[in-house]
Chain A
Amino acid sequence: EVQLLESGGGLIQPGGSLRLSCAASGFTFSSYAMSWVRQAPGKGLEWVSVISDSGGRTYYADSVKGRFTISRDNSKNTLYLQVNSLRGEDTAVYYCAKGVVVIDDAFDIWGQGTMVTVSS
């Protein structure tokens, strides 16, 4: 079964850091671009970042550029998102998502999400 499983979320104070992880199974992880998408409580979807299949290319939303870093370990079938300098507006469910074959930026598989709450 194709599956993505996020972890690493939690309650964190403003200015703090977390590392989110996304464990992939059931497909050849190293062949697909991967993204992070977030959703604030009661709000819509916001794309955060993408990384190419090899890890050689990354892109970020302006709202997180310079604070978040996406990475992957293809030997461990795991995607990461290092989130630093957290702000209240970063409070959201963070989903990892797999790109459709030949369309890196349309997402056919999503994880269940991990909640990040930024609050003092």
Chain B
Amino acid sequence: AIRMTQSPSSFSASTGDRVTITCRASQSISSYLVWYQQKPGKAPKLLIYAASTLQSGVPSRFSGSGSGTDFTLTISGLQSEDFATYYCQQYYTYPLTFGQGTKVEIK
């Protein structure tokens, strides 16, 4: 199975900060990568698919980049509603696999 490794696992940030989360795949997955946001007690929400395509309705402060094995999710201007856990997921091959998650906390 393809292993997805996110970094960091957690960090603190302030409203207005630009933050970047990294996701690395154990082998090339082309651009078959998704990012989700999850808040406590809620289902995940799709943010980005195909590594860089913003899902309809998602604010433009979210952006994704990368291909092959290295990917990033950037939030330009963190808002209070963005404090959550973020997951990457590859859909290059089965079994589908997720990163372990990155928790963004309020500083």
A110 near B43: Cβ-Cβ < 8 Å: yes
Q: Is the interface of A mostly helix, strand, loop or mixed?
A: strand
B34 contacts A106, CB within 8 Å?
A: yes
A89 is an interface residue with CB less than 8 A from chain B: no
Surface stretch bound by A, among B14-22, B75-83, B95-103: B95-103
Residue A73 interfacial (CB < 8 Å)? no
Q: Is B44 in the interface zone, CB < 8 Å from A?
A: yes
Contact A106 B94 (CB under 8 A): no
- Cβ of B50 under 8 Å from chain A: yes
B44-A44 in contact (CB<8A): no
Determine the chain A residues whose CB is within 8 A of the CB of B49 once the complex forms.
100, 103, 106
Asked whether B43 lies within 8 Å of A44 as measured between CB atoms, the reply is: no
The 4 A-B pairs with the shortest beta carbon distances in the complex, nearest first, are A105-B91, A110-B43, A47-B96, A106-B49
B positions within 8 Å CB-CB of A = 1, 34, 36, 38, 43-46, 49-50, 55, 87, 89, 91, 94-101
